[in-house]
A and B are shown apart, each in its own frame.
Chain A
């Protein structure tokens, strides 16, 4: 039973067959429905090429990526630093803990109209949306990790006369990094949602804007082409997250 799936060619061809069937179904049913509801694969691919040839798609991808990375990288840096600080400073932790739980539980999309009314419709508002989408998952996991540093290990560090800086370098950060990476994996997807939400709800731009634009032109194939690109971005981000986690896994003896 197992040995069947050990064979690479068999695994690969099953995999390919799955994709092929999906493509055929898309092509068949996409062609049958009303064009204002759907589009077949071939039309989507054609539209994709068209959007690339006039440069619209690249612009949209670049716009979205820029928003994504500026927003999410800031969120990761801020959240991990704040989380580590909170674990070392009791008054920060006690003072903020409740708010973090509240905000972590709040669907961030509900905050978008508020952000729009405060920050108007520029890049700052969109940045804030993406930042907030990505911030709390990272913060929550960082806190979780930093809190789980064993007091015995802090004692070891103190016994060897570690200063605060060395304590972060040798104990706090290495211990917390895997948790931060879990936070990044969770936040990466959310931040992408944040990008599209900001582009829909704050002002039209990037891939979110392209989807709206194509819909306005009654081009479902254009909408699908844009969604496909977003899917690819999501997959790429998940892959990056997993590679990072695997690299950190060496000392944990995990082979994933």
Chain B
């Protein structure tokens, strides 16, 4: 199947690999509430795409649809050619609320997905310490989530997703609940981990800075119901690190995204009153 598509692409002279995630004409309704509509997006292999948009515009909903946790109401979502109707192997999600099991230790939480995937005990015992170490949680293996800080809990959630060695990593505002300093540390650590093993990453965030810093592209969702207002290519040098924050282009892009969002944010504020 994928061989065919590649052959087609080669035959048509494009010579590019097909997108790993293809969203076309996607819309989602909860009852009468149309959350988003007519979304067309493609995410490539080895690409970090960040998604920004005002609160309630349907970012989490979009990730749920990509993960196959719920079906789209219109259009379709395909990953590697397969229609997403239920969660799929090779796709892992990091949740805004961490989603750790309070009765499982760090080790057990990180091994959760592997155990469900039927990986052998021995292999789990071998893999889990690697990912625990990767996210900097060594020494906390047998600790329960309540004994961890917010940042450490999110590291644990990240390790659990990474342990699946996914080709698609979906991140729902993963660092929103941690303090600014921890957030910065986690951002650069995530980039470092991604560099070691690049994959398709869809990264939802509230923070414009974070979107520009992390993304190869920034997708701006806007409107009610929302749709893609703009996709901005982030032409910042790789690898991204602290010096990126001081780059003049970074400031430009940040201002650009901010201006794009501002009208919407203002409108949303009036909506609330």
Contacts and interface: CB of A to CB of B under 8 A. Distances in A.
Interface in B86-104: 87-89, 92-93, 95, 97, 99, 101-104
Contacts of B87: 158-161
A159 B69 contact: yes
A252 B147 CA distance: 10
A34 B64 CA distance: 77
A152 B97 CA distance: 8
A251 B112 contact: no
B116 A153 contact: no
Interface in B39-97: 64, 67, 69, 87-89, 92-93, 95, 97
Interface in A161-181: 161-163, 166, 170-171, 174-175
Interface string A204-221: 000000000000000000
Contact of B116 (A155, A160, A175): A160
28 contacts: A152-B99, A153-B99, A153-B101, A155-B64, A156-B95, A159-B67, A159-B87, A159-B93, A160-B87, A160-B92, A160-B113, A160-B116, A161-B87, A161-B88, A161-B117, A163-B116, A166-B116, A170-B101, A170-B112, A170-B116, A174-B101, A251-B102, A251-B104, A251-B146, A252-B102, A253-B144, A253-B146, A253-B147
A170 B113 CA distance: 11
Nearest to B145: A251
Interface residues of A, number: 19
- Shortest beta-carbon contacts, A-B, top 9: A156-B99, A251-B103, A253-B146, A160-B113, A174-B103, A251-B144, A159-B93, A161-B87, A160-B116
B116 A171 contact: no
Interface in A234-256: 250-253
B58 to A, nearest CB: 16
B66 to A, nearest CB: 11
B147 A161 contact: no
B95 A152 contact: yes
A230 B117 CA distance: 51
B146 A252 contact: yes
B102 A161 contact: no
Interface in A129-168: 152-153, 155-156, 158-163, 166
Contacts of B146: 251-253
Contacts, number: 51
Contacts of B164: 160
Nearest to A250: B144
Contacts of A171: 101
A106 to B, nearest CB: 34
Contact of B69 (A153, A155, A174, A253): A155
B95 A160 contact: no
B115 to A, nearest CB: 8
Interface in B143-183: 144, 146-147, 164
Given A152-B95, A160-B112, A166-B116, 15 more contacts: A152-B97, A155-B95, A155-B99, A158-B87, A159-B67, A159-B93, A161-B89, A161-B117, A163-B116, A170-B116, A171-B101, A251-B102, A251-B144, A252-B102, A252-B146
Nearest to A161: B87
Nearest to A248: B103
Residue of B67, B89, B101, B146 most packed against chain A (CB within 10 A) = B101
A155 B117 CA distance: 16
A152 B94 CA distance: 12
Interface in B101-136: 101-104, 112-113, 116-117
Residue of A156, A171, A252 most packed against chain B (CB within 10 A) = A156
A166 B115 CA distance: 10
A160 B104 CA distance: 16
Contacts of B92: 159-160
A250 B93 CA distance: 28
